[in-house]
Amino acid sequence: MNKRRKIYCVVTNDLIQDQRMHRICNTLIEIGCDVMLIGRQKPDSIPLGQQKFRQKRLKCFFNKGPFFYMEYNIRVLLYLILNAPYIIYSVDTDTLAACSIAKWIRNRKIIFDSHEYFTEVPELTGRKFVKKIWEALERVFIPHVNCGLTVSESLATILSEKYKVPFHTIYNVPMLNTYDRKPPGENKYLLYQGMLNKGRGLEQLIAAMPMIPSIKLIIAGEGDLSHTLRKMNEDSPAKSRIIFAGWQTPDQLQILAREAWLGVNLLDSKSLNYYYSLANKFFDYMHAGLPSINMDFPEYQRIIGEHNVGYLISDLHPAYIAALINDILKNPEEYYRKKECCAIAAQHYNWQNESLHLQTIFDQL
């Protein structure tokens, strides 16, 4: 690959919180590429921060639903045709149509990066017609991509077999830092960071809190359930110990994680997207030296089985969540062994290692 050629990466978010794409774009800049990250301008978007790569937000009349996806893809298509980058980097199925058509019109190369099992997300449950549309788009376009990337070994296997295109795993991991990992203080707290959306086990976690004495819960993030969860908390006997911290910057999240006692990563097994997922928060907790509770799903089974960095739970019933956390409180020796294992595992799962893998993939295009 001519490393000085333009690479345009396309997402549907507003570029602020997408740490994976920030890392990928910075890596491509470091190997000499001319990189632009393209997203959308939301009504409540905050100003973009300074980055090494260029950033572009497209304004749309529609902000959700089918008309948003149609309008956004049309705007992306026109922008890509006009600027004709050497490589088009499509992130998730909702950017795939515009990026693929631009590839064909301008005779360019395309990379498809599937950050999730898109057609199996909880938001499509019970919406058969909408799901069939997304499945049709994938069947038409994915077999023609030049390279496939995704976030876990399980998804790479599924997508490779389904579309007969090799998918490479690029883990969604942080940079390896040298900051001191603090022992938890006297005021222990659980930490959940991420979207407050359906299927994340947050309702059950809040319901479990009255059964977990003398420990706080900090929920850092916002989402579709923000109002529902806050209203639920108002009626909880543990409401004084549950704190909604809202959106936090990456630096603020690092501080919260380093000072927390236990990370939380709960998911609903009804969603195949969640079942085969490998959340970035799992690695964020690991890098902070923070053991975490995770679902007994394939990717977490494998990594925790190999590296002993956390705990597995198979049932989201509040009583089971509370029982596990109380058991962890009673076994500090095992807990501190897992803290030590987090630091060791971070030496393997870090962006310095993943960036080398990414460079190899791009060099082969």
The CATH number corresponding to 189-346 among 3.30.70.3270, 2.70.70.10, 3.40.50.2000, 2.30.300.10 equals 3.40.50.2000
With beta carbons less than 8 A apart as the criterion, state whether 359 and 31 touch: yes
Instruction: Write down the pLDDT at residue 183.
Output: 63
- Tell me how far apart the alpha carbons of residues 331 and 127 are, in angstroms, rounded to a whole number: 45
| Count of C-beta atoms within a 10 Å radius of residue 180 | 7
CA 311 vs. chain centroid, Å, equals: 20
Query: Rounded to 5 degrees, what are φ and ψ at 133?
Result: -65, -50
pLDDT of 181: 60
**What are the residues whose beta carbons fall under 8 Å from the beta carbon of 246, sequence distance 6 or more?**
220, 221, 222
- Mapping DSSP onto H, E and C, the string for the chain reads CCCCCEEEEECCCCCCCCHHHHHHHHHHHHCCCEEEEEEEECCCCCCCCCCCCEEEEEECCCCCHHHHHHHHHHHHHHHHHHHCCCEEEEECHHHHHHHHHHHHHHCCEEEEEECCCHHHCHHHCCCHHHHHHHHHHHHHHHHHCCEEEECCHHHHHHHHHHHCCCEEECCCCCCCCCCCCCCCCCCCEEEEECCCCCCCCHHHHHHHHHHCCCCEEEEECCCCCHHHHHHHHHCCCCHHHEEECCCCCHHHHHHHHHHCCEEEECCCCCCHHHHCCCCHHHHHHHHCCCCEEEECCHHHHHHHHHHCCEEEECCCCHHHHHHHHHHHHHCHHHHHHHHHHHHHHHCCCCHHHHHHHHHHHHHCC
Q: Which fold has domain 6-173+351-363?
A: Rossmann fold (3.40.50)
CA distance 270 to 358: 32
**Short-list 134, 58, 42, CA closest to 96:** 134
Domain ranges for the chain: 6-173+351-363, 189-346
**Cα 171 → chain centroid:** 10
pLDDT in tens, the chain (365 residues): 554 689 999 999 999 888 899 999 999 999 999 999 999 999 988 899 899 999 999 999 999 899 999 999 999 999 999 999 999 999 999 999 999 999 999 999 999 999 999 999 888 888 999 999 999 999 999 999 999 999 999 999 999 999 999 999 999 999 998 665 666 666 799 999 999 988 899 999 999 999 998 899 999 999 889 999 999 999 999 999 999 999 888 889 999 999 999 999 999 888 899 999 999 999 999 999 999 999 999 999 999 999 999 999 999 999 999 999 999 999 999 999 999 999 999 999 999 999 999 999 998 88
pLDDT for residue 219: 97
Buried/exposed 307-322: b ≥16 CB within 10 Å, e otherwise: bbbbbebeebebeebb
